[in-house]
Structure 1
């Protein structure tokens, strides 16, 4: 068959990307995770979204890296979990049915101060009743802490315990001889290394804790 119509036949090609989504982020300090939620303002762009890409950077001015994608256009919630810190920046893009990718959504950053600062209790009771047996920080305060450097002293100035683990988990024993420390007041000096959008930040805290058996 010869086409004399001088009309070019072809398949229409879609090269119009979707609109960029609008992103918000909610932080769970206890679980150390960020929940991303977004919507797509399809008032002026084609409504043929197939999925979304999730981008992440640990720094405010760092390159955003693709870390995951959704499997359905109705999936507009993503939980970024198993984190060492909630400090991060995020963006989302929309992908249409032929692979066109939108521009980045608004970039949302979560800094260290979205969660309460690292804080320690002033008493614990290591008596084996499975209640308050360990000297540990308040759980919602470790969400942006990389490590600590804590030393705990008895009233004569001797170190009885030290660690760099933010969770501490001191059981009230002398770290050297493994014997129970006597009931009473102990003093600590602690450097807290916090993860911020600009890098690591060192903060010093000092205080006392009472062992009550």
Structure 2
């Protein structure tokens, strides 16, 4: 966790020592998104979510636009796991979509501006074969 820390010692009598030097550790934020996912219900790659474990993320504001610039999905939360549906719950068709994610991290500077990630994602909806 991001923060500043120091150590003190406590004697058996309850006397506390002077604090050690203060050491501050900054968070190491990371947030990377894929460019293709397949929300077809096969249990593999069904959600559009960050690659690797995103560290120190406190909130993600996520907006998706279709290729004509119309907003089709929006969410705000502590994590990102989009299932390829519109904000109204309708399945979006296969195709190219554009997104913007504003990611707020738990940093030492509490009012730090968010990391803004813009990009595109391809939805591939292949049918799941029953074998």
Instruction: Using structure 2 for the length normalisation, give the TM-score.
Output: 0.81
Which residue is equivalent to 2:129? Answer: none
CA distance in 2, matches of 1:105, 1:129: 55
Distance in 1 between the 2:46 and 2:96 partners? 16
Alignment of 1:11-26 (within 5 A): none
Q: Does 1:93 align with 2:8?
A: yes
Task: Please name the residue that 1:199 is paired with.
Answer: 110
Aligned counterparts of 1:106 and 1:128: Cα–Cα separation in 2: 54
Structure (1 or 2) with the larger CA radius of gyration = 1
Give the whole-Å Cα distance in 2 for the aligned partners of 1:174 and 1:193. Answer: 23
| Equivalent pair of 2:57/2:79 in contact (CA under 8 Å) | no
Residues 92-131 of structure 1 aligned to structure 2 (within 5 Å)? 92-112=7-27, 114-115=28-29, 117-131=30-44
Q: Does the 8 A contact of 1:147 with 1:165 survive in 2?
A: yes
Larger RCO (CA under 8 A, 6+ residues apart): 2
Q: CA RMSD in A?
A: 1.8
State the distance in 2 between where 1:130 and 1:95 align: 53
Give unmatched runs, 5+ long, in structure 2. 126-131
Question: Counterpart in 2 of 1:55?
Answer: none
State the partner residue of 1:136: 49
Of 64, 73, 76 in structure 2, the residue corresponding to residue 152 of structure 1 is 64
Q: Which residue of 2 aligns with 1:81?
A: none
1:193 touches 1:200 (CA, 8 Å); kept in 2?
A: no
Structure 1 gaps, min length 5: 1-85
Following TM superposition, by how much is the alpha carbon of 1:134 offset from its aligned partner in structure 2, in angstroms?
0.9
CA distance in 2, matches of 1:121, 1:109: 33
2:4–2:23 CA contact under 8 A, matched in 1 = yes
Q: C-alpha separation between the residues in 2 aligned to 1:139 and 1:87? A: 20
